Chain A
Amino acid sequence: MDVIVWSRIQFAMTAAYHWLFVPLTLGLALVMAVMETIYVIKKDDFWKKTAQFWMKIFAVNFAVGIATGIILEFEFGTNWSNYSWFVGDMFGAPLAIEGILAFFMEATFFAVMFFGWGKVGKRFHLVSTWLTGIGATISAYWILVANGWMQNPVGTTFNPETVRSEMASAAAFWEVISNPVAVSKFFHSITSGWVTGGVFVVGVSCWFLLHKRQQEFARKSILIGSIVGLVGSVAVMLSGDSSGIHAAEFQPMKLAAAEGLEDGGSRAAFTIVPGVKVPGMLSILATHDIDGFVPGINDILKGYTDNDGNVIPSVAEKMQRGRTALDALAAYRTLKDTDPEAAAAARALLDENVQYMGYGHLEKPEDVIPPVGVVFWAFRLMIGLGMLMLLELLVVGWLGWKDKLAGKRWLFFIAIACIPLVYICGQAGWIVAEVGRQPWTIQGLLPVNVAISSLSAGAVKTTFFLFLAIFSLFLIIEIRIMVGAIKKGPETPNE
């Protein structure tokens, strides 16, 4: 394998590892905030003890997850230095805001939440608990603004002087932060965290019921967990629908790969599994119109006319225009100091073709096709497991509501088994999003083979296995501490 593949695998592993902690942080933050709110309203110490138990689990997850995202930034600078430079101006503002918010909001209120029991007023403590979760959520928004821009690079202009995508004005900044891809990605990711939190709380609570321990705590935790999880599930479906529309509009190849759709058309069928199709469903999902045209892989390669009547050029034409853009960039950089007139002409030619600049680096049109099998099956895994989580939360939540959970050992086992499955579901979602946009680091502008630094595969391999060892070690430690905390059960505060 070459340096690009190793760097991608390393980045994927780091991002996947980071995403083990984030969704539980987001989900548990909501669960414990709801529980503490009930405590403050009802003035019942049972809810205080219950909220404190989940805060303890939150703390373990937070402690092990903290700074795992920083490793991604190390990799940007070392493995993806061309990409880092290219996006530096655009990423600077959102990531700085994320850092400030993450540090000040999460860290400050996290401390009050953990250490403030009995030292600050109940209401101030409750506000701190909510703000810890809100801080984490807002932080995630800024990260997803950056990620959304990579999928749909709006609001920026390529500057051939600096070789960067830059935001030229406050309006451009607004366009970046209100990027529809970022917004739907944010809601999809956050609410999937609520599902993870809900499934986790329900699963752990079922473990207590299975062992006939802390039964009231478990039953009431199941109620809150299943409500949070179900609200999350519905919101995930709504935001997923919005993500599908955006994929169809901005990344049709990703959608075609996720569907394994070679030749598109109107009334396109949705493939549940190979050989089992629902006629017209893909058109509805992708365009909200059963007659909507959904391009397949071959349509995208050859060029097509979209639902708004826009003629989308073939990939070969985009490659040609991309090469024109790159030649114009080279000419501009050579001539800017010696022949301003010729440089201005080159600049005009660059601006005219810059949206296809990345295509100029491709060797053949088929290079724009991502690994279809991976994206196709990851998509089905995500949806299948998502539906299973919804069903599990509905059944356990309903039986818990009706107080009919006693003796349902088979259901407890299923709920416990759903904990790893909800993580697989979330990881599958990111595989669809990130593998599906290959070969691009920035859609249409920068393919991975240009984004990469000048490194040896051996150097990346070394750090890959180093990370694997360190990550595995920390994961084992986290699971051990977390399992220990769970087995101990809800007990004394202020630990």
Chain B
Amino acid sequence: MAKGLKQSAVAVWHFYRDAFRNMTWGRTLVWLILLKFFILFAILRVFFFKPAMAGLDEAERSRVVGERLVGGSQTETETPVSPSQTYNL
């Protein structure tokens, strides 16, 4: 059983390894995907798209959204604010 699993895993590994080794134009696409992931997750996500309620636990999030719901619509803030500033935590 264990031997069979190992053989399958090796076969899958060889399948992908050979595929990537034999790529021609596909290699460009793989680099393109990696570049995109880098831009998305290492730049945009880290520097520009911090979740507005990061760092709040579930009870705090409920309280914050509840206050927003009963407190009315959102108005624009003058300057960018961190979640803790926004919600006075």
Contacts and interface: CB of A to CB of B under 8 A. Distances in A.
Interface of A: 2-4, 56, 59-60, 63-64, 66-67, 70-71, 74-75, 77-79, 81-82, 85-86, 111, 114-116, 119, 160-164, 326-327, 329-330, 333, 357, 361, 447, 449-450, 452-459, 462-463, 466, 470, 474, 477, 481, 485, 494-495
Interface string B24-67: 11101110110011011000110011111110001001101110
A232 to B, nearest CB: 27
A456 B77 contact: yes
Contact of A495 (B26, B30, B58, B69): B26
Given A2-B76, A163-B65, A333-B66, A67 B22 contact: no
A66 B48 contact: no
Contact of B80 (A74, A163, A459): A459
Contacts of A78: 48-52
B73 A86 contact: no
Given A59-B26, A67-B40, A477-B32, A115 B65 contact: no
A485 B25 CA distance: 9
A4 B74 CA distance: 9
A21 to B, nearest CB: 12
Contacts of B16: 111, 115
A85 B40 contact: no
Nearest to B85: A454
Given A59-B26, A161-B62, A163-B65, A456 B70 contact: no
Give chain B's interface secondary structure class: helix
A135 B61 CA distance: 34
Contact of A455 (B26, B77, B87): B77
Nearest to A329: B70
B65 A85 contact: yes
Contacts of B80: 455-456, 458-459
A481 B31 CA distance: 13
A442 B49 CA distance: 23
Nearest to A160: B66
13 contacts: A59-B26, A77-B52, A77-B53, A78-B50, A85-B61, A85-B62, A114-B26, A116-B15, A163-B65, A326-B69, A329-B66, A456-B77, A481-B32
Contact of A70 (B24, B25, B40, B61): B40
B29 A74 contact: no
Given A75-B49, A86-B65, A115-B15, A330 B29 contact: no
Interface residues of B, number: 47
A453 B52 contact: yes
A56 B29 CA distance: 11
3 smallest beta-carbon distances between A and B, as pairs: A115-B19, A81-B52, A449-B73
B24 A495 contact: yes
A46 B81 CA distance: 61
Nearest to A1: B76
B9 interface: no
B7 interface: no
Contacts of B23: 495
Contacts of A163: 62, 65-66, 69
B42 to A, nearest CB: 13
A479 to B, nearest CB: 13
Nearest to B24: A495
Nearest to B14: A119
A446 to B, nearest CB: 8
A70, A78, A458, A459: most-surrounded residue (chain B CB, <10 A): A78
A477 B31 CA distance: 12
B60 to A, nearest CB: 11
Given A60-B29, A66-B36, A114-B26, A454 B66 contact: no
